[in-house]
């Protein structure tokens, strides 16, 4: 049987760049925030090596923005995350877990502070818009919340700085990591951040005019010819090596941010107030008993992965593989696993229960240590 | 270029029936409530004719349930919908628009009243779980809200009654339209409703034990052999003919229920209180200026459809095609269109701006009048 195609309808929304990536031969999609997200062009392996050496243009319009605007905006945004936002300045991007009143993860957006009373939450795959609006309506807050016409386009890879400087001018090089500036394109200011869902460096352009999408794509594409530009997308291999977590794959509402290794983004000791604070304090006091770790395991290839695989120690289940791939750089199968405390120490010998049988392996710290490109 | 495949990961959740439908050769999926929903087996046309004559088994586990439970459950559910639920009894299914404080559609679930203080909302594709929880947290309501392990399996088509009686006993025939009963399977009670997303009759089985999914599927499948059972799925052609609306395709949060033709489910004149009531009253007073209508238009085949097409009258835009297909029963192209008042009268001559050029057509009432099977 050939793999099922994706049935596309209005509900699986197209982006300002979809026509371009289809012309360039996108091979696979997923659906993310009710929108098309490409997942493969040549192959995950080919796309991976190219990303580490050159520069790619990614249609990540599905990173939808939840705009929160108004006198109570700062209060609502702080209420939604355990990250202390009091020192975040305008022009800054802040990665932040969102949790519910029980401490369970709702999403893990990047929060962009546009003004003291205006924020974008650049979200992973869940309807944060509804969560934020439910809270605002229920509490009677003075905020306006919407999904604006903003479609991020990412430029990722080691040649991203040179390419972006060619298109937007040398100012782009001065943008610090997780900061943004407004730079002009055809006389229209675009929010450009040094960020992106890879560890190869690069930028995200928050295009706020869909009608300019193809012009923006084409301009970067043409300027990228000399840098061997290709279309790309968040790459499974690269993101597992770099331990970039994926909501819905690695963690869900059943996990709290401490279990996700996001304790550095949880202010448990100051006076700030947010949903789930008591639950997280109680979880810390009780002690965390499971947390993400890396796992590598033997075998010539990685079995196809669609569900969590048990991790075993002495025949007992001590964890679950959440995301897995073959790392061509490490020549091993590698995984992000939620491990019990009894087996989370680096070096612990384990077995992974794959659909093709048990494979011997070992626990390690995240991210994986990948040799640099020569 | 061949059509892009769907990249499946843990985030695009499998259902208790996915292994079975893959073994039966599912050709296309969409993603719905972060879960796999099959969309084609043989072809939409073949699947359509079969559905109208025989019986099909549909994996609609993606119709996830939002369970609302506790002392404030009835209050919260009523707050979320303009439908007056005061006369809905335990054992009843109530189709209900959910609207926000501005009267915009959030979803259009079937509400199942399990007990006076316990409801399931069987939802279309948006995270109603987050909306309901946001409201409950914000208002401090005494409710528990979760997504239970419930995966609907639909048995649809004219032979559904006979097949279901063979499996669950003659009692199943007595279930009235949009009512449910608990009937036993392997000693376990299953909620079975006379409902489903087709106009061909049938049932939805709300399986609440994933581990029984394949046994349930296999048992119905084997009993269905004498009824020419096939795997199926919500059918684009049949649902457009029958005017079954699809959230995200036909309407979004930009539409209110009066525009969607759901006025019969909006209690605007009693004392009941719900979100958006003032907005809907204002909309009624101002007068509705757009509403869904049928449109049929000429041409030997239906161009491929991925975005809204303008509907024109005298060269001016007077509406938008939201969903469209070729109806083999009517031998015409048919569509659900959001039409301006100036052109919504049945019989109005219009043109549809398709990707293959303008096509002449006509406005008509919904649902389409389809000749019965012989």
**Judging by beta carbons within 10 Å of its beta carbon (0-12, 13-18, 19+), is residue B270 exposed, middle or buried?**
exposed
pLDDT in tens, B50-63: 999 999 999 999 99
* Pairing label, strands B151-156, B180-185: unpaired
Q: Is A295 on the interface with B (CB under 8 A)?
A: no
**Best B6, B275, B323 residue to mutate vs chain A (most A CBs within 10 Å):** B6
Instruction: Say whether A28 and B22 touch across the interface (CB within 8 A).
Output: no
- pLDDT for residue A307: 82
What is the total residue count of chain B?
374
Q: Which candidate from A40, A135, A249 shows the least CB-CB separation from B134?
A: A135
Q: Is A138 on the interface with B (CB under 8 A)?
A: yes
Q: Which residues of A touch B126 (CB under 8 A)?
A: 34, 127, 130
Q: Which residues of A touch B10 (CB under 8 A)?
A: 248-249, 306-308, 322-323
Residue identified by tokens 């495949």 is B5
**Best B21, B24, B31, B107 residue to mutate vs chain A (most A CBs within 10 Å):** B31
Task: Say if residues A34 and A209 touch (Cβ distance below 8 Å).
Answer: no
Q: Which residue is closest to B323 within chain A, CA to CA?
A: A10
Note down pLDDT in tens along chain A; length 374 residues: 579 999 999 999 999 999 999 999 999 999 999 999 999 999 999 999 999 999 999 999 999 999 999 999 999 999 999 999 999 999 999 999 999 999 999 999 999 999 999 999 999 999 999 999 999 999 999 999 999 999 999 999 999 999 999 999 999 999 999 999 999 999 999 999 999 999 999 999 999 999 999 999 999 999 999 999 999 999 999 999 999 999 999 999 999 999 999 999 999 999 999 999 999 999 999 999 999 999 999 988 998 877 889 999 999 999 999 999 999 999 999 999 999 999 999 999 999 999 999 999 999 999 999 999 87
Instruction: Say whether B138 and A139 touch across the interface (CB within 8 A).
Output: yes
- pLDDT for residue B120: 98
In chain A, the domains with their CATH numbers are 18-60+155-174+183-189+211-240 (3.30.1360.120), 289-374 (2.40.30.110)
CB A278: neighbour CB atoms within 10 A? 11
Choose among B333, B372, B336, B374: nearest CA to B356: B333
Q: What is the DSSP letter of A306?
A: S
- pLDDT for residue A52: 98
Rounded-to-integer distance, Cα A59 and Cα B30, Å: 20
Record the tokens describing residue A367, joined without a space: 């991210």
Choose among B30, B186, B342: nearest CA to A6: B30
> Closest approach of chain B CAs to the CA of A136, in angstroms?
7
Instruction: Say whether A130 and B131 touch across the interface (CB within 8 A).
Output: yes
Residues A125, A128, A261, A287, Cα dihedral to 10°:
-130
Rounded-to-integer distance, Cα A216 and Cα A203, Å: 14
- pLDDT for residue B1: 52
- Please state, rounded to an integer, the average pLDDT across all residues of chain B: 97
Instruction: Say whether B135 and A134 touch across the interface (CB within 8 A).
Output: yes
At B305, the pLDDT band (50, 70, 90 cuts) reads: confident
Q: Which residue is closest to B322 within chain A, CA to CA?
A: A10
3-class SS at A364?
strand
Cα distances from B107 to residues A48, B243, B246, B257, in angstroms, run 39, 17, 9, 10
Q: Is A210 on the interface with B (CB under 8 A)?
A: no
The answer, yes or no, to whether residue B32 has pLDDT greater than 90, is: yes
- pLDDT for residue B303: 87
Angle ∠(B78,B80,B81) on CA atoms, nearest 5: 70
Q: Which residues of A touch B38 (CB under 8 A)?
A: 4
The model's pTM: 0.97
Size of interface A-B (CB pairs under 8 A): 169
pLDDT in tens, B107-163: 999 999 999 999 999 999 999 999 999 999 999 999 999 999 999 999 999 999 999
At B306, the pLDDT band (50, 70, 90 cuts) reads: confident
pLDDT in tens, A301-343: 998 877 889 999 999 999 999 999 999 999 999 999 999 999 9
Cα distances from B124 to residues A44, A175, B197, B249, in angstroms, run 32, 42, 11, 11
3-class SS at A130?
helix
Its ipTM equals 0.97
> Closest approach of chain A CAs to the CA of B312, in angstroms?
20
């Amino acid at each position: 049987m050939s793999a099922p195609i994706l049935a596309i309808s209005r509900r699986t929304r197209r982006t300002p760049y979809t026509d371009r990536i289809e012309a360039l031969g996108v091979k696979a999609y997923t659906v993310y925030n009710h929108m098309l997200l490409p997942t493969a062009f040549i192959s995950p392996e080919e796309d991976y090596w190219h990303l580490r050496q050159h520069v790619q243009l990614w249609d990540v319009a599905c990173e939808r923005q939840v705009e929160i605007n108004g006198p109570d905006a700062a209060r609502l945004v702080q209420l939604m995350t355990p990250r202390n936002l009091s020192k975040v300045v305008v022009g800054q991007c802040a990665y932040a877990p969102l949790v519910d009143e029980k401490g369970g993860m709702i999403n893990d957006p990047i929060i962009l502070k546009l003004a003291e009373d205006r924020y974008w939450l650049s979200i992973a795959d869940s309807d944060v818009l509804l969560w934020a609006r439910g809270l605002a309506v229920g509490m009677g807050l003075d905020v306006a919340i919407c999904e604006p016409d903003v479609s991020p386009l990412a430029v990722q890879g080691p040649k991203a700085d040179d390419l972006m400087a060619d298109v937007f001018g040398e100012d782009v090089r001065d943008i610090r990591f997780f900061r943004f500036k407004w730079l002009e394109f055809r006389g229209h200011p675009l929010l450009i951040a040094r960020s992106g869902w890879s560890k190869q460096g690069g930028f995200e352009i928050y295009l706020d005019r869909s009608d300019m999408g193809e012009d923006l794509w084409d301009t970067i594409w043409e300027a990228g010819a000399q840098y061997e530009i290709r279309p790309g997308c968040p790459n499974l291999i690269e993101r597992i090596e770099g331990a970039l977590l994926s909501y819905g794959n690695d963690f869900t509402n059943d996990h709290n941010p401490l279990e996700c290794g996001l304790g550095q983004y949880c202010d448990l000791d100051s006076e700030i107030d947010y949903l789930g604070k008591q639950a997280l304090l109680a979880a810390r006091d009780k002690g965390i008993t499971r947390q993400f770790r890396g796992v590598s395991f033997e075998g010539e290839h990685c079995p196809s992965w669609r569900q969590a695989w048990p991790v075993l120690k002495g025949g007992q289940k001590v964890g679950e593989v959440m995301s897995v791939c073959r790392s061509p750089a490490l020549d091993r199968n590698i995984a992000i696993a939620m491990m019990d405390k009894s087996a989370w120490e680096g070096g612990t010998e384990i077995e992974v229960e794959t659909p093709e049988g048990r494979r011997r392996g070992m626990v390690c710290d995240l991210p994986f240590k990948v040799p640099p490109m020569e």
